[in-house]
A = this chain, B = another copy of it.
């Protein structure tokens, strides 16, 4: 307990993901007393053609 799921554009490195998992785990332990051994952080790499914002897919966006 608990479980954190991160949905974001694909393309980040393993290093970035490792640092992100560390910081999220630290925040969960510090602020909501999570038990690190059973705390899962799951990352979904989403292609730009599968993410719409403001009615527009990522492949059609500048940002």
With a CB–CB cut-off of 8 A, which chain B residues contact A54? 25, 36-37, 39
| Known A17-B49, A50-B17, A50-B45; contact A55-B26, beta-carbon cutoff 8 A | yes
Q: What's the nearest-Cβ distance from chain B to residue A6, in Å?
A: 5
Q: How many chain-A residues does the 8 Å CB contact rule pick out? A: 53
**Identical copies of this chain, number:** 6
| Known A7-B2, A8-B1, A63-B35; contact A57-B27, beta-carbon cutoff 8 A | no
| A-B CB proximity, top 5 nearest | A21-B52, A2-B8, A23-B27, A41-B52, A25-B55
Residues of A within 8 A of B (CB): 1-9, 12, 14, 16-28, 30-32, 34-46, 49-60, 63
